[in-house]
Structure 1
Amino acid sequence: MSDERFHLTLTTGGRPAAHGWWAREGTARRKFTVWVGEYGSLPQARVSLVDETTGAVVTAWPKEP
């Protein structure tokens, strides 16, 4: 299992602000929830979680309409 499989990214105002990688999806999803709570009020905040193995977006906030 790759230690960098699940990539979490925070952008604000269209610019990268923070990122992290986790081997386990469960850990990455918990971090995702924490980041939305902590940083969701920043201007134009967006948090996304990507499975780097498949390239698929696992989840993102805010949800696209």
Structure 2
Amino acid sequence: MFLYKIEIEMEGNSAHLILLAQTDEQAFSLVESHVARHYIKMPVLKSVAVVEKKRPEPGTGYFIAHNE
């Protein structure tokens, strides 16, 4: 298993998704379902990219800074 930090670019917006998956393929296949949970109308996804990939261990995490 791996902990993934995925960057998602949508029309007029971007987001990061953190998820646990067995493989890269599984991680990419889960992206749309996670995005769909947060929007009434599914946004158009322009790009989806793995930014970081780590093996989960106690204390493993990601720091995500907000752009101001």
Structure of higher CA gyration radius: 2
Same fold (TM over 0.5): no
TM-score range, shorter chain: 0.3 to 0.5
TM-score normalized by structure 2? 0.36
Higher relative contact order, structure no. (Cα contacts within 8 Å, ≥ 6 residues apart)? 2
